[in-house]
Structure 1
Amino acid sequence: MLNRSQIRSLFLTVSLLLAVPSRASAQLPDTLTIQPYRGIGNLETSIQREFQPVRLEVRLRQRRVYVFQGDRIKKTYPIAIGKPGWETPVGTFKVTQMQRTPAWIHPFTGEVVPPTDPEIPITEAAIVFTTTKGGVIGFHGTPNRESIGTAASHGCVRMYNEHIRELYPLVALGTPVIVKP
């Protein structure tokens, strides 16, 4: 992302190129090639990189989620995954729901536990990417910090609360989620 100083430098460079005095115009060749200003890198590449779509890649064996922008890793976070019998599903999905203060649906009873309940196993945000066994599967924060790096959930991808807060604004509805073994 360009900062104010870089934008100002680019603007001044372009302005100087365009503000050629009229007497000098007779001395200019018929064609001009404008070279990019090297002080801020390749502007076109910087802009393209900034607006490439984001995708999430969960690597279950590594217990990590990778945030890709284009083909570059932008961020990576440790996670907890589904425990035996409640494995996190493998496949290609898309984000279908996003909630900053989610309720929790008990996987055995179907009871909806409100976000204000002190016993809720989900904290912070939820980013849902699929449904299974009558419930939803997604990323969410957890009060059980010690579970990160293990197979402990009912299929969801648990994250540290501070990490789900970082991830939430990077994702939008429709963001691809690829879950690999």
Structure 2
Amino acid sequence: MFYQQPFYFSRPVYSITINRSLHKLTLYRDSIVFKNYPVAVGKPSTPTPVGTFRIVNRAINPGGPFGARWLGLNAPNCDYGIHGTNNPSSIGKDVSNGCIRMFNEQVIELSNLVSIGTVVKII
């Protein structure tokens, strides 16, 4: 008799790298580039922190300038995150208070893929 091992689906592992100087967020799926998104980052007086962090909280429609989604990072004071924007003309610029801004439709897409604990490297 032929015995076949059960087939298990494994969830893909996502990670994110944000390049501040290129204003680009790269989403990796199982260590392979999956998507690239344009972003806005912190202005010189309130720069986006550099380092390796994790997504620690999330919100749908957080309101105000945070657009359609909030993905909070365990960066200093937990005051930083990846979020949408109510000012889409800011994408591609150094204008935020340190957070990473994305177009609302793109942050929704990203939020649907990543989970709490996803590694976010900011360079």
| TM-score, reference length from structure 2 | 0.87
Q: How does 1:1-181 map to 2 (within 5 A)?
A: 51-102=11-62, 115=63, 120-132=64-76, 134=77, 136-180=79-123
> Which residues of structure 2 form unaligned runs of 5+?
none
Dislocated runs of 4+, deviation >4 Å: none
Higher relative contact order (CA 8 A, sep 6+): 2
Give the length in aligned residue pairs: 118
Task: State the superposition RMSD in angstroms.
Answer: 1.9
Whichever structure has more strand as a proportion of its residues is: 2
- The structure number with the bigger radius of gyration is 1
| TM-score, reference length from structure 1 | 0.61
State the alpha-carbon separation in 2 of the partners of residues 121 and 165 from structure 1: 15
State the alpha-carbon separation in 2 of the partners of residues 145 and 68 from structure 1: 24
State the alpha-carbon separation in 1 of the partners of residues 70 and 104 from structure 2: 10
User: What is the percentage of aligned positions where both structures have the same residue?
Assistant: 31
Contact in 1 for aligned 2:53/2:75 (Cα 8 Å): no
> Which residues of structure 1 form unaligned runs of 5+?
1-17, 19-43, 103-114
* SS of residue matched to 1:121: helix
Whichever structure has more helix as a proportion of its residues is: 1
Instruction: Give the C-alpha shift of residue 52 in structure 1.
Output: 3.4
State the alpha-carbon separation in 2 of the partners of residues 144 and 135 from structure 1: 23
